[in-house]
Amino acid sequence: MTDDARDGNRDESRTGPRPARDGHRAGRGTVTGEEEARRMHALVERLYPLCRSITGDGVRRTLEIIAESVRLRVREVPTGTRVLDWEVPREWNIRDAYVKDASGTRVIDFTASNLHVVGYSVPVSATMTLDELRGHLHTLPDQPGLIPYRTSYYAETWGFCLAHDTLEGLDAGPYEVVIDSTLSDGSLTYGEHVVPGRVAEEVLVSCHVCHPSLANDNLAGVAVALGLASRLAETDPWYTYRFLFAPGTIGAITWLARNRERTQRIKHGLVLACAGDRGPLTYKRSRRGDAEIDRAVRHVLRSSGREHGIVDFSPYGYDERQFCSPGFDLPVGSLTRTPYAGYPEYHTSADNPDFVSPEAMLETLETCWEVTRVLEGNRRYLNLSPYGEPQLGRRGLYGSLGGRSDTRQAQMAMLWVLNLSDGRHTLLDIAERSDLPFPAVADAAQALRGAGLLKECAL
C-alpha cells in the first residue's frame, strides 16, 4: 500500500489526466504565455459562481473541475475527526436563501450572489420586521455599494450580507426570511495532486478552496497553482511536487494531522493566494527567515526587475502560519500580489473576475516557475582545477561565448562559479554573492562541468 493510500479515514479517488513525462527538464510545449493567461482567467470565471465553504458540495464541485486538468486524489475526513487541537466540523450545504418584502420581491437573494448569506448560517424560516432582522444584517457603510463576505464557522448563527445602499432603501417590513441550509454530520474535503520527481523530497504548493465568489482571494491562487502543475508535468523534475487544494486553516490543519511523517520530506513550500490583482508581487518569508525557499524567491524577484516587496514572517495571514507553526516549522513562505486584506476589494463583491488580471496571474505564474528553476538547479560543485584560474580558452569555453549578447555576463558567471565551487557554496550562494541571475550561473556550471572542471557534490 502506498503512503497516499494508507490512512484510517474515508477517502475517495477522482482521477484526471495523467501528467506527461518526456524525460527532459525544460519543456513548455507549444502553449504561449498569452494562452496560459487566458486559461487561468477562464478557470477563475468558471469557479467564481460556486458557493464554497470549509466543507460541502461547493468544495467538491470545485475539486471536480480541478480534476479535469490534473490527477487529483480527493480526501473525505469525517465530522468529529480529531485533527491536532481541532475537530472536523459538521458539513454545511445551502440550496437557497432570501429576504422577501410584502410584494414578494427578493430584496436579498442568494441566487444573485452567494455572498448574500453568512457562511455556515443555520436554517431559518420566519417573518420579521426590519428592526427584528437588522441584527442579522451585515453591510459596509464605508463601501456602500458592495456586499461584504462574512462567515460563522464555529458559532451556530445566521445572517445576511448586503450593500449598505440596499439596506438604506428598505422599509419597516414585515419580511419573509428563509435560509434553506443544512448543518449535519458529513466530512471535510480536500484534494492533492502529485508530480513525481527523481527524489522523495517534496516541494509543497498550497492554496485554499473555501471562499465563495471571491476571484482574487482564492481562485487566482488555484489557477496559478494549476498553471504551475501543468508546466511541471512537461518536465522530469528532481523534487516531487505536491499541490494541496484545501479549505483555509482547518484544511491545512487536517492535512498536517494526517501527514506528520510526510512533513519530514518537505524541502520547500509556497502558499499561493491573492495571485491575480494588479498590485506588486509580495513574498512573505517562512518562520525560519533564511530557508532556501526564502532565498530563492528573493533572488528571483530581485533578478526579474518586477516590482515587488518582501516581508518577514508573522503568524497572521494564510496557511503558511499552520505550516510554520513551531511544532512543524516547515520551510514554507507565501507568495501573493497585494498582501492579505491589503486592497479595498478584499472580502467584498468587488473581488470579482473583472478585478483579476490575466497578465498579473501570468506574472505570478512566471515567478513561481522561475523559483522552481532555482530549486531544481541548485547544486554544489567542487572545482577540479583550483590552483589558479584554469585556461578556459584552451577548453573552448571562451570561444563558445563569442557573439552572445550576454558574453560579459557569461564570462563573469564562469569565473564566479570556478572561484566559489569549493564544495561548500551552492549555485544559489554564488548567484547571490555575484549578483548574477541564477540561470547564468547554472549555465556556467553546466559548461564547466562538461569541460571536466567541476564535480558535483552532495547537498
Q: What is the pLDDT of residue 29?
A: 58
Q: What is the pLDDT of residue 9?
A: 39
Q: Which domains does the chain have, with CATH numbers?
A: 11-84+189-376 (3.40.630.10), 91-184 (3.50.30.90), 380-457 (1.10.10.10)
In 353-453, where do the E strands start and end?
A: 380-383, 422-426
Query: Which residues does residue 151 pair with via DSSP β-bridges, in sequence order?
Result: 119
Binding site, residues? 211, 217, 347
Q: What is the pLDDT of residue 277?
A: 97
Torsion angles phi and psi, residue 426, rounded to 5: -90, 170
Q: What is the pLDDT of residue 451?
A: 92
Please list, in sequence order, all residues whose beta carbon lies within 8 angstroms of the beta carbon of residue 259, skipping any fewer than 6 positions away: none
Closest CA to 332 of 317, 347, 345: 317
Q: What is the pLDDT of residue 5?
A: 36
What does pLDDT average to in each consecutive run of 10 residues of the chain (459 residues)? Answer: 38 34 44 92 98 98 97 97 97 98 96 97 97 97 98 95 97 96 98 97 97 96 98 95 97 97 96 97 97 98 94 94 97 96 95 97 97 97 94 76 68 94 96 96 94 90
Binding site for Zn(2+), residues? 211, 217, 347
Q: Which three cell numbers stand for residue 188?
A: 471535510
Helices (H), 180-291: 221-233, 250-258
Closest CA to 417 of 431, 407, 405: 431
This prediction's pTM: 0.91
Q: What is the pLDDT of residue 93?
A: 98
Q: What is the pLDDT of residue 4?
A: 44
Q: What is the pLDDT of residue 20?
A: 31
